[in-house]
Amino acid sequence: MRLSQIVVVGMMVLAGWMAPARSAPSDSLTLDQAWQVLLQRNLTLKQQQAAIQRAEAALRQARTMRLPTLQAGGSYKYISEVPRLEVPPPPVPGFQFPEIQAGANNQYDLYLQVVQPVFTGMRLTNMVRLQNMQLQKTRVQAQRVQQQLLFQVGRLFYNYQLNKLQKEVLEASLRRLEAGVSRARALYQAKQVTEFDTLRLANQQLRLRNHIRNVERQNDIVLEKLRTILNLDSLAPPAGVSVAAITMHLPAEQSFQQQALAHRPELREMQVRQKSAQLGVRIAKAAYMPQVSAFAAVHYGNPGANFFKQEWNVYTLAGVQLSFDVWNWGRSYYRVQEKTALVRQLSLEEQKRLRAIREEVHTVYLQMQQVAENQAYLEQLVAQESLRYQLVKSKFENGYATSLDLQEAESALTSAQLQLQQNRIAWMQLQLQMKFVTGTIGKNLEEYHE
């Protein structure tokens, strides 16, 4: 009995030790973890995967157009009038040739036919190349959508961090005010300050509590947006980030411009679209060339090759077929002109896109410069406002300053601290945005798989 109890207790302890390792959820979610979940579960990315699979199937289908095709078919025809062969009667009295019928009223035909394109003016080859360009375009579009979603998740992540830091600053301000209200009440009871002084600090305390609730609701909204984009029913809160020791080092702008030219998916998409348009011109020009195909067929019909006998037999056909548009009212010419104009249009669009990308990188770079320049100023401002608050607080406790002086000093300190935290998070957000505008966002993650 004692041994069995020991075994049961041992199994319970072992189960309790193993259960947390198997089912314990993560306490917080880092940005890299959120990105990994995005790549695995986001519905928009799954749609892009389906689009890539569709383009791959279309490419395989296009490649088969250059291969021979085997066709099977059959037909039935009824002809009301069948031609007859009239033979003049011989010069023999009473003798007449039998009537010869060339065909039958009921005609049946079953066949197997092989058709092989021989010459199409490179139309089929260029169609395969065009479909390959379409596949590449779909992949680049999927990468562009992925980067947009990574950027969106990153912005939500840092918005959560900003609200969290603001809440910490506001809670510290609330604690300072609570101490000030307690001191004001004590001074009021000692009849050293008026009731108005106590009420002013209490009103400021009420405003801070309302501000904190608003920040909490904003983070609830951020979490809901994250759950939606990550396609999750429940989500651990984002992990905190260390902002106190941020080093705002900014390399030369030219390095970012070069990264954008090398990695922006929009530029690769423009290149693919231009190649596709050039292939479209070649396909349109193929209409000026004859289309030649060879065929061979086996027929089983009644009547067969011999129309004079109404019986089933097998016969074969083989030949070459040529087709050429001699006159189509300039339709082929206008199609070539349309495709050529598209090539010029895409060339201009590429130049426009290049200028827009350079502007985006330059704008973000200037914003990062501004944030880096503001950092030293805000750190100095917080230090000075903190010292000012301590001096005013000491004077208020000794009756040499009013509650208005204390409220103004505390509000100025809180405002400076909020600006400092906003500037730090702004740097992180701009770093993320720079990765986005240079096309390098998420490069440390697993690449997008079709």
Taking only the tens place, the pLDDT of each residue in 366-407 is 999 999 999 999 999 999 999 999 998 888 778 787 778 888
Q: For residue 441, give the nearest of 431, 426, 427, 428 by alpha carbon.
A: 431
Do the Cβ atoms of 212 and 171 come closer than 8 Å?
A: yes
Q: Which residue has the tokens 């209200």?
A: 181
Distance, CA of 131 to CA of 56 (rounded, Å): 9
Q: In the prediction, which pLDDT does 186 show?
A: 65
Res 9 pLDDT > 70: no
- Convert the pLDDT of each residue in 179-197 to its tens digit: 776 666 666 666 655 666 6
C-alpha dist (Å) from residue 351 to 55, 58, 266, 270, 273: 28, 31, 12, 10, 14
Say if residue 127's pLDDT is above 90: yes
Q: What is the pLDDT of residue 192?
A: 58
84-85 and 291-302 as β-strands: parallel, antiparallel, unpaired?
unpaired
pLDDT-derived band of residue 272, with 50, 70 and 90 as boundaries? Answer: very high
Determine the Cα–Cα distance for residues 168 and 173; give it in Å rounded to an integer. Answer: 9
Q: For 329-376, write each residue's pLDDT tens digit.
A: 999 999 999 999 999 999 999 999 999 999 999 999 999 999 999 999
pLDDT at 303: 86
**CB 156 within 8 Å of CB 225:** yes
E strand intervals along 236-312: 291-302
Q: Match 């011109």 to its residue by tokens.
A: 281
User: Counting every residue, how long is the chain?
Assistant: 450
Tens of pLDDT along 19-74?
333 333 457 899 999 999 999 999 999 999 999 999 999 999 999 999 999 999 99
Considering the entire predicted model, what is its pTM? 0.82
- In 3D space, the residue among 164, 171, 175 whose CA is nearest the CA of residue 241 turns out to be 164
Percentage of residues in the chain having pLDDT higher than 90: 62
H/E stretch holding 75 reads strand 69-78
> Confidence class of residue 13 from pLDDT cuts 50, 70 and 90?
very low
Q: In degrees, to the nearest 5, what angle opens at C-alpha 372 toward C-alphas 369 and 376? A: 145
Question: Of residues 215 and 7, which shows the higher confidence score?
Answer: 215
The mean pLDDT of the chain is: 86
Tens digits of residue pLDDT in 103-126? 788 889 999 999 999 998 898 999
- Assign a CATH topology to domain 29-68+121-290+329-437: Outer membrane efflux proteins (OEP) (1.20.1600)
Residue 262 has pLDDT above 90, yes or no: yes
| Measured distance CA(374)–CA(422) in Å, rounded | 11
Choice among 3-12, 201-210, 217-226, 390-399 with the minimum mean pLDDT? 3-12
Hey, how many other C-beta atoms are within 10 angstroms of the C-beta on 145? 18
